[in-house]
Structure 1
Amino acid sequence: MLSRKFIFGLIFIVIIIFISVFLYINISNNDAKNSTSIQDNSKMLTSTDILGKYNNISLKRSELTTQERQTLFEVESQTYNAIENILTKRYYDSLIKDFMKSNNITNSEIAEQMFIQKNSTVTNEQVKKFIKENSENPQLKGKTFEQQMAIVKPYLDSQAAKFLVAQAILNGKIEVSGVSKPLAPKISIDIGNSPSRGPANAQVTIIEFADFQCPFCAKAHPIIEEILNQYKEKVRFVFKNYPLIEIHPEAIPAAIAAECANKQEKYWQMHDSLFENHRKLGEETYVKIAKSIGLKIDEFNKCRKDQQIHDKINAERKYGQTLGINATPAFYINGVQFIGTLPKIELEKIINNELVKH
């Protein structure tokens, strides 16, 4: 059974993740209402700001390359988030201290457990449902029901703590004032002739740079499918190759297989099958998939030797590098970059926010 310290540590991490997503959505949803405030915060980030000099030449933000803008944004975000996390922890710790004082409790771990239980509305039925839906989770698998309950109940109870912290942010009890929140650079991505699904004039465009051998990309694939089925004509999805050739030897061969399937108008069938088989990519798998989706094998094999296909994939990879991509999957949602597999609930919030703007 996991220790209480581990469980409370897990709770705090979950709280921090929730705050980051919640704060991003809340700020975005209030863009119109708080335009004056945002403009004030942006004064430090305007295109006239001079970042520094080299050889007596001033460098302004407006002169940065796309990659430089993204790099600077990431560093500034780390500073902002670090301050926010410190404030959040201090606020949460103060709640526990006040609870200890008002209830004459001297043990902080016991106080935190009681505090969370007091503010939680989680039922046993909800716990049982969670265990059933996550039965393959390594932390739950092989354990007795009582052991699973001991892990899951505190995790779900942490939702109450999330709500308290979220309310504190809304009410201004937690507020970063030392630095301005950096605004994510909005980048115009050249879609070119990349495969896409959904209408060209969709309100939301999701562009993914991915690697067919990347396990995180494979994990993101079914989430994207659900999003496309859910939003239908409101979302356009574009796929671009970004093979991580240093660690994934089959990334380029798989991308070539997909591009050659596209020549026979079977791109998405190959795309889906490659992700489903990302752990066993290789010549045998490519040919097997090609046959199963009805490709003309001779044309498929000839295409895979075409240098133009190789050049297209390498060009997309180099283009991704100029954007500052350093990991996959990399998503651009209406021009704003998000690195890593996004949970469906987070994708929904971002998309819904973009739809409100339009």
Structure 2
Amino acid sequence: MKFASLLLCTLLTTAAAVAQGTPASPTAQTAPTAPASADPFPPANPKFFDAASPTTADVNAFLNVIWGYDSNRTWRVEAIQKTAAPNVSKVTVFVADKSQGNKVENLRFFTTPDGKHAIADAVFSFGPHPYDDLRATLQSRADGPSRGAANKTLELVEFADLQCPHCKEAVPIIQDLLRDFPGAHFVFQNFPLIEIHPFAAQGAAYGNCVQQAKGDPAFYTYIDQVFAHQESLTPELAQKTFDNAVTAAGADPAAVKACAATPAARAKVAAQIKLAEDVDIEQTPTLVINGHALAIGAIPYEQLKQIVTWDARQTGASAALAAK
């Protein structure tokens, strides 16, 4: 149970900045009360709480947002300490998993003076509402084809690459989520990884042109066909694969090919890539649930459902969970 799998896995691609309240006065904090005898964690020592900010309550509020969906996971803030850098604090958290025998692991990260960010192997958002800014950014800028509910109260944005094998594997996961969360607004956001997938940008441009010509439902038919024949995205077969997918979507392959070659089409793909870069999406497929970015695929589906439900409630979207 390494730090990256517990914390950075859920936060590495999140770019939300979180507004904190007025900083505490520069006096030492008090440590949490000693744990009960059945608690797996060692007692907290007051001498390890000499930083004014963040408070233990701040850290617990943050951890509750990102981990609260998991009833097996418990934690205790064991230290919030000053560092040599002015107003940069080191936070130490002990975490255990009841399903794994309550083995205690030690996690550390650093919070910045603005109270909005934390740093481990990467800078990530911190505070009781760590997803708000990314949520707002995607609600305004994620322009990919959508399906599901029209209302964006519960918005799922998938950043994906048509040549990415893991994105193909995510197709049934997304289908299951749309079935189980009919109140969700889903957006497929092109993010072609052009450095490693030579046909990804072409596939994205063709998809944008299919959407432009025939609408969002046709786009989803197109990407389903591309994913179904992804192994044919080779120098010899890629053009035929795209043309067949365009035909299946009800569009004209020649017209779509001409559209995809225009400066406007290339600019649209470039803008889609820039959005992913602007919000620090680094891999595909990444699913963003109301601002909470997750690398899906390795997460068991039942746990993913828990996370969607939890995030909806944390971000004021509970009503969307009941929508049919």
Distance (whole Å) between structure 1 residues aligned to residue 267 and residue 84 of structure 2 = 38
Pairing partner for 2:232 from 267, 280, 301: 280
Shift of the 176–308 alpha-carbon distance from structure 1 to 2, 3 Å rule, reads same
Indicate the residue corresponding to 2:287 in structure 1.
331
Between Structure 1 and Structure 2, which shows a larger proportion of helix residues? 1
Moved more, 174-183 or 329-338: 174-183
Indicate the residue corresponding to 1:289 in structure 2.
245
Shift of the 174–308 alpha-carbon distance from structure 1 to 2, 3 Å rule, reads same
Question: Is the 2:286–2:294 contact (alpha carbons within 8 Å) kept by the matching residues of 1?
Answer: yes
The answer to whether structure 1 residue 204 and structure 2 residue 171 are counterparts is no
> How many angstroms does 1:340 deviate by?
4.1
Q: Which amino acid aligns with 2:232?
A: K
Question: Is the 1:203–1:354 contact (alpha carbons within 8 Å) kept by the matching residues of 2?
Answer: no
> How many angstroms does 1:175 deviate by?
7.5
The answer to whether structure 1 residue 267 and structure 2 residue 219 are counterparts is yes
Unaligned runs of 5+ in 1: 1-12, 25-35, 44-49, 62-75, 89-161
Distance (whole Å) between structure 2 residues aligned to residue 299 and residue 273 of structure 1 = 18
Unaligned runs of 5+ in 2: 11-54, 63-81, 112-117, 119-125, 319-324
Q: Which amino acid aligns with 1:228?
A: L
Normalised to the residue count of structure 1, the TM-score between the two structures is 0.53
After TM superposition, the structure 1 = structure 2 runs for residues 33-48 of structure 1, keeping only pairs within 5 Å, are 38-39=57-58, 41=60
Pairing partner for 1:344 from 296, 301, 315: 301
After TM superposition, the structure 1 = structure 2 runs for residues 165-314 of structure 1, keeping only pairs within 5 Å, are 165=101, 168=102, 174=104, 183=126, 185-186=130-131, 187=134, 188=136, 189=138, 190-232=140-182, 234-263=183-212, 264-265=214-215, 266-281=218-233, 282-314=238-270
> How many angstroms does 1:279 deviate by?
1.8
Question: Is the 1:256–1:309 contact (alpha carbons within 8 Å) kept by the matching residues of 2?
Answer: yes
Question: Is the 2:190–2:204 contact (alpha carbons within 8 Å) kept by the matching residues of 1?
Answer: yes
Question: Is the 1:191–1:238 contact (alpha carbons within 8 Å) kept by the matching residues of 2?
Answer: no
Indicate the residue corresponding to 1:47 in structure 2.
none
Distance (whole Å) between structure 2 residues aligned to residue 213 and residue 235 of structure 1 = 26
Question: Is the 2:160–2:167 contact (alpha carbons within 8 Å) kept by the matching residues of 1?
Answer: yes
1:207 partner SS: strand
Normalised to the residue count of structure 2, the TM-score between the two structures is 0.58
Q: Which amino acid aligns with 1:247?
A: I
Q: Which amino acid aligns with 1:348?
A: K
> How many angstroms does 1:179 deviate by?
6.2
Q: CA RMSD in A?
A: 4.0
Distance (whole Å) between structure 2 residues aligned to residue 207 and residue 276 of structure 1 = 21
> How many angstroms does 1:211 deviate by?
0.6
Q: Which amino acid aligns with 1:320?
A: A
Question: Is the 1:42–1:180 contact (alpha carbons within 8 Å) kept by the matching residues of 2?
Answer: no
Indicate the residue corresponding to 2:272 in structure 1.
316
Question: Is the 2:146–2:187 contact (alpha carbons within 8 Å) kept by the matching residues of 1?
Answer: yes
> How many angstroms does 1:255 deviate by?
0.6
Question: Is the 1:257–1:286 contact (alpha carbons within 8 Å) kept by the matching residues of 2?
Answer: yes
> How many angstroms does 1:177 deviate by?
8.2
Shift of the 334–202 alpha-carbon distance from structure 1 to 2, 3 Å rule, reads same
Question: Is the 1:218–1:275 contact (alpha carbons within 8 Å) kept by the matching residues of 2?
Answer: yes
After TM superposition, the structure 1 = structure 2 runs for residues 65-76 of structure 1, keeping only pairs within 5 Å, are none
The answer to whether structure 1 residue 163 and structure 2 residue 99 are counterparts is yes
Aligned residues: 223
Shift of the 59–175 alpha-carbon distance from structure 1 to 2, 3 Å rule, reads closer
Between Structure 1 and Structure 2, which shows a larger proportion of strand residues? 2
After TM superposition, the structure 1 = structure 2 runs for residues 19-38 of structure 1, keeping only pairs within 5 Å, are 20=6, 38=57
Q: Which amino acid aligns with 1:227?
A: L
Shift >6 Å, 4+ stretches: 50-53, 58-61, 177-182
